[in-house]
């Protein structure tokens, strides 16, 4: 109780410092690309409605921690709550004001994104930014070697092996122990027909023949020297650097990073990159394409907010077609409104948008369980042991299965 009060007081002081007055909406957002996007959205909303929005940017982990303490303490200091897909959903969903789907238009939004923010059948947030993992490749190197974007994992391995030469590695993954490693592995698991948990979400399902095959394939890329030697310490930002500096031919990463990699000011290979229309698949599974990982940010309204009406107005504004288009064109936001992907203005700044939408057509998110963070840390530890050769794939997955089942 003391700790909660202490944190609540600290956050209240921070929020109060912004000169909050009645009807001002207050929200915490993760700093960086998403923070800048949401800050722009808040300005557009204030200009359109006259309602001020106080957007406070904090590092990702702090937003999660502070929001939760405010919500648990029912302080009413926060009106709009940012939700990082299924990772944060189980924690914050019980404290969010349900969105009435009879009166709120959600049909213009990508359905799988809307589904991310449902808890017990109730919609509690609207998607405002997509985070989908796509296969980015060096078109110039592929063309020179007579290769096509891989449609199966064997083709992927062949391309990686062919292109690993002259200081270039076939594939740049993020393998540092942590969230990065787990989200890097998940598309491999999904596209080999594997699942993280069983359907009831009561037990681990990744230690299946499909899961073992996927993980062995993933680990072999490292053991066969098809990834940069330092990749075991790579985070997401290192993938951008590896591609931008021309030392890697492929990356399976978060779609908006394509814009950084393709930016002539930051990248040596701008204009030489493309996005594969789908992820590779394992033909033995009968899948027609690979299945990738999708997540994204949503905005919900705190049940303890004193400005619920205005807060609902704000989240609907940010999720609207017009605002999604504006944020996509001006702030590189990955839009959640389907229509934007066909918009000529957006295609002008992001010609690969159609490929992104295609690649994300077959996608799932992490399972919605309260203990996800713990499961993620277990998987990170064991996958790290497998990619660094401390354990065999079998040993790592056996240990992970046992620990995940205990955590569930």
Partner 1 sequence: MIIASRTVVPKASSRRRTRRLLSSDNSLPYLLLVPALIALGCILVVPLIYNIWLSFHEYNLLRPARNTFVGFGNYLKVIQDPAHVSSLFLTVRFTAITVLAEVILGTSLALLLNLPFPGNHFVRTLVLVPMLISEVVAGLSWRLIYHTEFGLLNYLIGLFGLSPQVWLGPDLALPSVMIVEIWQHTPFVTLIMLAGLQTVPRELLESSMMDGASRWQRFRYVVLPLITPILLLALVFRTMFTLRVFAPVWVLTGGGPADSTLVIGVDIYRAAFRYYNLGIAATLSIILLAVTLAITLVYMRLLRREALT
In angstroms, the CA 43 to CA 51 distance is 10
Residue 305: which of 93, 77, 7, 65 has the closest Cα?
A: 77
How many residues line the site for partner 1 (CB under 8 A)? 37
Q: Say whether residue 2 binds partner 1 (CB under 8 A).
A: yes
What is the footprint of partner 1 within residues 332-371 (CB under 8 A)? 370-371
Cβ closer to partner 1: 74 or 342? 74
Q: Are 157 and 151 in contact (CB under 8 A)?
A: no
Q: Say whether residue 300 binds partner 1 (CB under 8 A).
A: no
In angstroms, the CA 62 to CA 55 distance is 14
Residue with tokens 């690979």: 290
Element (H, E) at 132: strand 125-138
In angstroms, the CA 294 to CA 357 distance is 11
Q: Say whether residue 229 binds partner 1 (CB under 8 A).
A: yes
Member of 55, 56, 69, 113 binding partner 1 (CB under 8 A): 69
Cβ closer to partner 1: 198 or 388? 388
For residue 28, report the phi and psi dihedrals to the nearest 5 degrees.
Answer: -105, 135
Taking the complex as a whole, the smallest distance from the CB of residue 2 to partner 1 amounts, in Å, to 5
Q: Are 91 and 68 in contact (CB under 8 A)?
A: yes
Q: Say whether residue 34 binds partner 1 (CB under 8 A).
A: no
In angstroms, the CA 265 to CA 271 distance is 12
Member of 14, 40, 60, 91 binding partner 1 (CB under 8 A): 91
Residue 188: which of 86, 85, 283, 279 has the closest Cα?
A: 279
What is the footprint of partner 1 within residues 380-399 (CB under 8 A)? 380-382, 384-385, 387-391
What is the footprint of partner 1 within residues 169-208 (CB under 8 A)? 176-178
Write out the two tokens for 91: 């924690």
Select from 8-16, 41-49, 151-159, 238-246 the region that touches partner 1 (CB under 8 A).
238-246
Cβ closer to partner 1: 4 or 308? 4
Q: Are 333 and 116 in contact (CB under 8 A)?
A: no
Q: Say whether residue 166 binds partner 1 (CB under 8 A).
A: no
Taking the complex as a whole, the smallest distance from the CB of residue 184 to partner 1 amounts, in Å, to 13
For residue 47, report the phi and psi dihedrals to the nearest 5 degrees.
Answer: -65, -35
In angstroms, the CA 215 to CA 190 distance is 11
Member of 343, 373, 402, 405 binding partner 1 (CB under 8 A): 373
Q: Say whether residue 10 binds partner 1 (CB under 8 A).
A: no
Beta strand pairing status for 80-84 and 118-119? unpaired
Taking the complex as a whole, the smallest distance from the CB of residue 383 to partner 1 amounts, in Å, to 9
Cβ closer to partner 1: 71 or 359? 71
Taking the complex as a whole, the smallest distance from the CB of residue 141 to partner 1 amounts, in Å, to 17
List residues near partner 1 by CB under 8 A.
2-4, 61, 65, 68-69, 72, 91, 176-178, 228-230, 232-233, 238, 241-242, 245, 247, 370-371, 373-374, 377, 380-382, 384-385, 387-391
């Amino acid at each position: 109780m003391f700790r909660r009060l202490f944190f609540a007081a600290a956050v209240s002081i921070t929020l109060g410092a912004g000169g909050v007055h009645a009807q001002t909406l207050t929200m915490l957002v993760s700093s960086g690309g998403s923070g800048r996007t949401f800050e722009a959205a808040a300005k557009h909303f204030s200009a359109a409605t006259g309602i001020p929005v106080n957007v406070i940017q904090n590092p990702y982990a702090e937003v999660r921690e502070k929001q939760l303490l405010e919500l648990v303490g029912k302080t009413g200091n926060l009106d709009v709550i940012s939700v990082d897909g299924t990772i944060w959903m189980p924690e914050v969903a019980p404290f969010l004001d349900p969105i009435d789907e009879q009166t709120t238009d959600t049909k213009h939004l990508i359905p799988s994104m809307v589904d991310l923010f449902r808890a017990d059948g109730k919609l509690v947030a609207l998607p405002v930014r997509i985070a989908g993992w796509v296969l980015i490749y060096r078109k110039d190197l592929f063309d020179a070697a007579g290769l096509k974007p891989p449609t199966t994992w064997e083709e992927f391995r062949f391309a990686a092996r062919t292109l690993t030469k002259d200081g270039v590695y076939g594939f740049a993954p993020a393998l540092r122990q942590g969230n990065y490693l787990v989200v890097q592995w998940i598309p491999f698991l999904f596209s080999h027909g594997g699942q993280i948990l069983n359907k009831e979400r009561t037990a681990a399902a990744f230690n299946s023949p499909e899961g073992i095959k996927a993980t062995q394939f993933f680990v072999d890329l490292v053991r066969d020297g098809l990834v940069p030697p330092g990749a075991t310490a790579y985070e997401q930002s290192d993938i951008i650097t590896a591609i931008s500096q021309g030392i890697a031919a492929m990356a399976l990463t978060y779609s908006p990073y394509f814009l950084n990699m393709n930016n002539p000011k930051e990248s040596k290979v701008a204009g030489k990159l493309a996005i594969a229309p789908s992820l590779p698949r394992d033909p033995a599974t009968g899948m027609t394409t690979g299945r990738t990982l999708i997540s994204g940010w949503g905005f919900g309204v705190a049940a303890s907010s004193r400005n619920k009406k205005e807060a609902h107005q704000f989240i609907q504004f940010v999720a609207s077609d017009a605002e999604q288009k504006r944020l996509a064109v001006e702030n590189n936001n990955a839009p959640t409104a389907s229509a934007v992907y066909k918009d000529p203005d957006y295609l002008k700044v992001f010609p690969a948008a159609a490929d992104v939408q295609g690649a994300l057509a077959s996608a799932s998110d992490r399972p919605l369980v309260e203990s996800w963070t713990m499961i993620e840390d277990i998987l990170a530890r064991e996958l790290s042991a497998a990619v660094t050769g401390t354990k065999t794939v079998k040993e790592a997955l056996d240990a992970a299965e046992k620990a995940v089942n205990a955590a569930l």
